[in-house]
Every structure is written in structure tokens, then in C-alpha cells.
Copies of this chain bind each other. A is one copy, B any other.
Amino acid sequence: METLSENRAFGGVQGVYSHASAETGTEMTFSAYVPPHDEGAKLPVLWYLSGLTCTHANVTDKGDYRSACAEHGVIFIAPDTSPRGENVPDDEAYDFGQGAGFYVDATKDPWAKTYRMRSYIESELPALIAEHFPAADMTRQGITGHSMGGHGALTVALRNPDRFKSVSAFAPIVSPLHCPWGEKALGGYLGPDRDTWREYDACALIDGGAKLANLLVDQGTADDFLKDQLKTGLLALACKKAGIPAQIRMQEGYDHSYYFISTFMADHVKWHAERMLGG
């Protein structure tokens, strides 16, 4: 693991790191904020998965999470959204290829070799964090994310119910099976058999019996993507049917930007901290 930068912030350290990923076969970059803590203390770990076109940098710059993480003693990890580099297959669209990995393990060429973001997020990066951040308590993890990253957070958590004590999302894509972004991405990475998409669809996973102990979602009512892409109502319905206690908050007048995310970030960090520390 290579340190690209470390800066003191809110009494802790905001770092940006890179490492050679075995899953993607590329150099991967992520950011990690470690709040101030006593020597030897173990701190819960909150994952934040980013949306389309983003890298680790968007939330690191604009997410306003450090104040709340310092207050509650939470480590905050922000991975990239896809493999990157000249030798990595790409597409000129913003919603497919680099910057749009959709947190899947691709099975179709030319994507299958490098687009392994599911395994990267579920296995490789957690192991790296556990190894290099002695303060990280991997028995107390939470996960959140925005848009495509909200989809990532929900599906990673639904497939790994024992790993996360808390799950939340900002304006998540709740059902890739039922929106243009999802159909394009899953069709491209996994091929036309829609049954193979279901493990990457939060609503389908819930319908199939996957459980979450709790869920917090914030969604802006002025979000241009709400109606055609995000479809928050489908998640509310799936949770209701399955008896999953979900707090889905429609936030009046908020859009899809980091102005929205940062507004509710401290709330989410606190919500996760209560569940990660209480469990």
C-alpha cells in the first residue's frame, strides 16, 4: 500500500492510498479518514460507495463527513467506483465502463478480467484495511453510498448480512432491473440473462429473502433521477413486504448533488455510529 497523501483534519488524519489490486489487476486508489483516538483504541468502520463518474475524491472533498466521524470516533473508507487505466476497457458514456463499475463482478468480455468491484469491495479491500489500519475494528462495520453507490451499499449488505451492523444510502438506485442505468450496466457486464442480475438488485434480493436489520435512506424530492432511475418507492414496497424496518425519508427540495449528501451526512454517520457501537 502506498500513501499518496495524509493531512491532519478534525484532529485525525485524512489519507489517500493506492495499492495493486489482485481482483482488478490494476492500481486502485481509496481514501481513509481515521479520527482522533486513544493509542490502541479500536474504531468502527463506515464504508461509503460513490456514484457514477466519481472517484474517492468527490466525497473526500465535498462530503462534510470528517466532523461527524471525529465526534463519534468512526473510520470512513471511500473506494473508487471502477478499475482505471489505459489498459482497462472503457466506454465513452458516463454510465458504463470506467467510473461506472456498478459494484459487480463482470462475466462478459472485455469487462470480466478487470471489472471485479464486487469482490474488491467484499473481500480484497476489507482485508487490506484490516492489515494496514490497526485502529479499524472489522467486527463493527457499516456501509452507505450515493446513487450507484447506494445500490452498491444495499446489495453488498444484503449479500453479507453478518458483516454490517448498519446500512444506509443517499438517493440509491434501488432496482437496476427496472431502470435504464441498471439495464445498461448489468446487461453489459453480465449479459442478457436477467436472472443473473438479481444478486445485484436490492429489491430482488429482498424479495428473495435477504434481510437487513435496519435501513436508513434519504432521497431528495427535486432529484432529476428519482422518477426514471432511482425509484425509491420500489424499495419502500419491498421492505414493507419483507418486514424490514426501513426509514426512508423524502427530503423536500433536495437534488442529486453533494449539497444534498453533505446536508444529511452527519445524520448518517451518527445513525451508523449508534448501531455500530451499540452492537
Contacts and interface: CB of A to CB of B under 8 A. Distances in A.
Interface string A249-279: 0000111011110110010000000000000
Query: Quick one: copies of this chain in the complex?
Result: 2
A8 B266 contact: no
B262 A66 contact: yes
Please report whether the interface of chain A is mostly helix, strand, loop or mixed according to DSSP. mixed
Contacts of A253: 8
Nearest to A265: B67
A131 interface: no
Given A67-B67, A67-B266, A266-B67, A9 B259 contact: yes
Interface in A223-269: 253-255, 257-260, 262-263, 266
Contacts of A199: none
A222 interface: yes
Contact of A64 (B11, B67, B220): B67
A62 interface: yes
A86 interface: no
A25 to B, nearest CB: 32
A7 interface: yes
A255 B7 contact: yes
Interface string A1-41: 00000011111001000000000000000000000000000
22 contacts: A7-B255, A7-B259, A7-B260, A8-B222, A8-B253, A8-B254, A8-B255, A8-B260, A8-B263, A9-B259, A9-B263, A10-B263, A11-B263, A61-B61, A61-B62, A61-B258, A64-B64, A64-B66, A64-B67, A66-B259, A67-B67, A67-B266
Contacts of A9: 259-260, 262-263
Nearest to A252: B8
Contacts of A263: 8-11, 66
CB-CB nearest 7 A-B residue pairs? A9-B259, A7-B259, A8-B253, A10-B263, A8-B254, A61-B62, A64-B64
Contacts of A266: 67
A14 B263 CA distance: 11
Contacts of A62: 61-62
A55 to B, nearest CB: 14
A263 B266 CA distance: 15
A49 B81 CA distance: 34
